[in-house]
Amino acid sequence: MDLFSRRIISYRIDDHMEAGLSLNALREAIAQRRPEEGFVHHSDRGSQYTSNAYVKTLEEAGAVISMGRKGDPYDNACMESFFASLKKEFLHKRTFATKEEAYAAVDFYIRFYNQHRMHSSLNYVSPMEAEMAYTKAHSAYAKTKEAHSVS
Type and span of the H or E element at 40: strand 40-43
Q: Where are the domains of the chain?
A: 19-148
Contact 13, 98 (CB under 8 A): no
Query: Is the pLDDT score of 65 beyond 70?
Result: yes
**May I ask the CATH class of domain 19-148?**
alpha beta
pTM: 0.81
* pLDDT tens per residue, range 121-150: 999 999 999 999 999 998 866 666 666 665
Angle between helices 127-148 and 99-115 in degrees, nearest 10: 40
Contact 44, 67 (CB under 8 A): yes
Type and span of the H or E element at 65: strand 64-67
